[in-house]
A and B are shown apart, each in its own frame.
Chain A
Amino acid sequence: MSKLTDLNLAQARDGLRDKQFSARELTQAHIERVAAADKLNAYVLQTPEKALEMADASDAKIAQGEARPLEGIPLGIKDLFCTKGVRTTACSNILAEFTPPYESTVTGNLWADGAVMLGKLNNDEFAMGSSNETSRFGAVINPWRGADQKPLVPGGSSGGSSSAVAARLGIAATATDTGGSIRQPAAFTGTVGLKPTYGRCSRWGVVAFASSLDQAGPITQTVRDAAIMLGSMASYDAKDSTSVNLPVPNYEAALTGDIKGLRVGIPAEYRVDNMPSEIEALWQQGIDWLTQAGAEIVDISLPHTKYALPAYYIIAPAEASSNLARYDGVRYGMRVAGKDIDDMYASTRAAGFGDEVIRRIMIGTYALSAGYYDAYYVKALQVRRLIAEDFTKAYEKCDVVLTPTTPSSAFAIGEKSDDPLEMYLNDVFTVTGNLAGLPGISVPAGVDAKGLPLGLQLIGKTFGEEDLLRVAGVLETAAQFTARADDWWSAE
């Protein structure tokens, strides 16, 4: 393994500034590693020429002493982010070879801060999934595997991002999270995944799944890297009406390691029946670590937790059914000829969308239709308020909430793909944060008996990313998670 691809973001940034290596060298090393990683299927499009061009520009900036926050850092970009002149598909056939004439605000922010694009990362089609098996480009493989060597899922929907960061196919990656799509894949791959507060990162130019829940964030190797990435990704954007006009703090500066007196809430309702004992044990371990670091542990109640997933599986599909109506074969993407306009629509959409996307469009269409709107959609929004109010009350007693990220470690490819409901359960601990708009982070905290990574989740207050990152940093330090997946997949 090339040494340059062992670096995390903070190390690479410092090495570039100290001129220990050039941006071109760093980028070249990653390009080669990506090229040898076809088995993981993390990238759906590699842009090596563009990457080297950007790296050279970064070297020029560094030479002039004008290095920007992410100068010369090679990143992978989830294929949900529109990238100008670079094919963007949301990993759906319906977008065909769609090439946006525009750049998403988040990626635009990254390039403005000097980052380098290695290519576009695989994801579940339209970010709908928890295993990255619904992509038009095929499943992504987790670089981690158990003793039986069965290929495992990297989580989803940001499975390309998590797999790539775990396998060092990029120093960090962008991702998006609608129900857990940053945190769950991070937990499955031993990486850090940060979903910011709704409204912190602009949604402009990010292919929409469920507008009121979608939020962009990073998947990184360390908590510090997540803080650095968020500092560049976040911005107020007048082009997104749901973007919140607050200054972006220096998140890295929040990593003081001092959480003395900070109150950590432990929600009783997350102790689900028959919780796997390894998860239970890890959670207790997390509580102990934070206690040892001087935090105060507080028992809290989030009484409507069990209704979060059902509410989510109405709200997200309802919004998706409308958001995905624009894929009609008229202005861009795939078109299948039909005998008339409606036949063209129906044929195009049947051919262009995969099963899971169709399932969710249908559920959402049903939930919004006359006669069912109040019973399903309005009901779900009422429950959403109850869930949000649970957190408001809990945060009178605590500053952050600690939970497991997922109810299991990574599962095998194909293991749950026949049963949508089993798949949906992956989001059971993460989805509340989306419904309430709260920031959440998954930190790798241990491995299970199979040697597979497990994550702990912290949920913060609205725009409480600094507290969240500070506690996450303490957790990371205590966990000493240094295990790495081996390079079984490398063609080198």
Chain B
Amino acid sequence: MACCTTGAALLVSRETFRIPPIKGPKMSVDEKMARRIATLARIGVSDAQLPALAKELSAILGFVEQLSELDTSGVKPLTSAVETTMLGREDVINDGGYPADVLANAPERDDDYFAVPKVVE
């Protein structure tokens, strides 16, 4: 059995990895931006929650900010680790026809329709 001899408690911290502190002066996400993101993402956030949320998001963005030190000009973005070509399906009908399964987990339905609060166009 391998044995690691040092007795010191493991300490992995922000300093170990040179992570900027959260309480920095820079707030890349202010409350207005936090509100806008929440609206885009359709996540209900009360006004009282906004300051903390903005702070958290700013901290994470502060962390990813390190990327900007790298010069990536001319580097093609890598969207997938798979480098093969996409194979298609034949144009045949081999799915569908089971409305009961499609609707089985619906929170609310009316006959074979999903039902939602009325949408005004």
Q: Is the Cβ of B37 less than 8 Å from the Cβ of A365?
A: yes
Distance of A318 Cα from B67 Cα, bound (Å): 16
Distance of A99 Cα from B44 Cα, bound (Å): 26
Q: Is the Cβ of B76 less than 8 Å from the Cβ of A385?
A: yes
> Nearest CB to that of B59 among chain A residues?
A421
Specify which chain A residues have a CB less than 8 angstroms from the CB of B65 in the assembled complex: 310
Distance of A450 Cα from B38 Cα, bound (Å): 43
Distance of A337 Cα from B102 Cα, bound (Å): 21
Specify which chain B residues have a CB less than 8 angstroms from the CB of A335 in the assembled complex: 107-108
A307-B117 in contact given A199-B81, A276-B11 (Cβ < 8 Å)? no
Size category of the binding interface on chain B: 35 or more
A361-B76 in contact given A276-B10, A449-B6, A483-B1 (Cβ < 8 Å)? no
A328-B42 in contact given A281-B6, A306-B66, A363-B57 (Cβ < 8 Å)? yes
Specify which chain A residues have a CB less than 8 angstroms from the CB of B18 in the assembled complex: 273
> Nearest CB to that of A428 among chain B residues?
B17
Specify which chain B residues have a CB less than 8 angstroms from the CB of A445 in the assembled complex: 2
B48 within 8 A of A: no
Specify which chain B residues have a CB less than 8 angstroms from the CB of A119 in the assembled complex: none
Specify which chain A residues have a CB less than 8 angstroms from the CB of B38 in the assembled complex: 346, 362
> Nearest CB to that of B101 among chain A residues?
A101
Q: Is the Cβ of B82 less than 8 Å from the Cβ of A310?
A: no
Interface of B is mostly: loop
Question: Residue A408 contacts which of B12, B17, B76 (CB distance < 8 angstroms)?
Answer: B12
**Interface set, chain B 37-58, CB cutoff 8 A to A:** 37-38, 40-45, 53, 56-57
A198-B11 in contact given A330-B116, A363-B60, A382-B76 (Cβ < 8 Å)? no
**Interface set, chain B 1-24, CB cutoff 8 A to A:** 1-19, 22
Q: Is the Cβ of A276 less than 8 Å from the Cβ of B2?
A: no
Q: Is the Cβ of B16 less than 8 Å from the Cβ of A99?
A: no
Specify which chain A residues have a CB less than 8 angstroms from the CB of B70 in the assembled complex: 304, 307, 383, 386
Q: Is the Cβ of B61 less than 8 Å from the Cβ of A384?
A: no
Specify which chain B residues have a CB less than 8 angstroms from the CB of A341 in the assembled complex: 116-119
Distance of A278 Cα from B4 Cα, bound (Å): 5
Considering the complex of A and B, which 4 residue pairs feature the smallest CB-CB distances, nearest first? A437-B81, A446-B2, A381-B77, A332-B105
A and B contact pairs by CB, cutoff 8 A, 25 listed: A99-B105, A101-B104, A212-B81, A273-B18, A277-B6, A278-B5, A281-B5, A282-B2, A285-B2, A313-B63, A321-B41, A332-B105, A335-B107, A353-B43, A359-B56, A362-B43, A366-B29, A369-B40, A375-B68, A382-B76, A386-B72, A421-B60, A447-B2, A449-B7, A481-B1
Extra A-B contacts (14), CB below 8 Å, given A273-B17, A276-B6, A462-B81: A278-B6, A278-B10, A310-B66, A313-B60, A314-B67, A335-B107, A341-B118, A342-B42, A343-B117, A384-B77, A384-B78, A385-B75, A437-B82, A450-B9
